[in-house]
Amino acid sequence: MNVVSDPVELIDADLSADLAAAALVLARRFTAGATLWAVSPQWEPHAHHIAVEFVHPVIMGKRALPSVALVDPDPVAQCRVAARRGDVIIAVAAADQPQVIDIMRRASAWGVDTIWIGHGARPEAGIANHTLWVRSDDPMVPATGRFVLMYHLLWELTHVCFEHPGLMTVKEPECTDEVCVTCSDEGRLVEVILPPVTVMDEALVRTATGEEFVDVTVIDDVEVNDLLLVHGGAAITRLDEDM
């Protein structure tokens, strides 16, 4: 007697919506000249596969999209050096992978968007711009092809977006008297490039819009690669690893 098990829903409605949103952003970034950087410290072949998937125009007439696998033992340092403002970092990793967590928390200071593919327990809400997650605790999921299916669909949907040029441009929000990031209470995440030489000097930091100097007199012992929250040109706190 044959027992037929219930079919597995590989892509549910929520994941479909997440894939579509990520593909649209990715298409817009590629149109603006972005590079896609792929990392997967636990499952390196996925990083290579993603890079090949996007850079190789397997279908006649499709664009070859700039994509690179970063497989150095220190992917955080690699991303820091490689990624430019407007690029995208895509990670395939479990929610507790420390290097990917660090990349995601620094990405906004680098001015890059992030996509995180994984399964099981989800990462902290909002840590990545787009989270593409499989609802399964099966440890074999990374080897079953479900991740491959996701980034294949991401590639295909990205090219679908290219077919609608009107979607490729986004009007930049204008500064108004009602809400303005510069003069509101909103803080900006920055990463220290060069700490101050003396207590009266400013620190050179990397921001989402470029490099600038900020006042760090209220922060003790600022070091290279520290993440700081800046408001009005002054650092108001340091973000620890668990923040």
Cα–Cα nearest to 182, from 230, 120, 238: 230
Question: From CA 160, how far away is CA 172, in angstroms rounded?
Answer: 23
Strand partners, 133: 118
> What CA–CA distance (Å, rounded) separates 208 from 112?
7
Token representation of residue 123: 């990462």
pLDDT for residue 63: 87
Separation CA 110–CA 121 (nearest Å) = 26
Low-confidence residues of the chain: pLDDT under 50: 1, 3-6
Domains of the chain: 13-167 (3.40.50.10490), 188-238 (2.30.30.140)
Q: Nearest to residue 90, comparing CAs of 78, 100, 99? A: 100
Q: How far apart are CA 209 and CA 111, in angstroms?
A: 7
Q: Give residue-wise pLDDT tens across range 41-55.
A: 999 999 999 999 999
Q: Which residues pair with 3 in a beta bridge?
A: none
| The model scores a pTM over 0.85 | yes
Nearest to 113 by CA among 150, 136, 84, 153: 84
> What pLDDT is recorded for position 178?
56
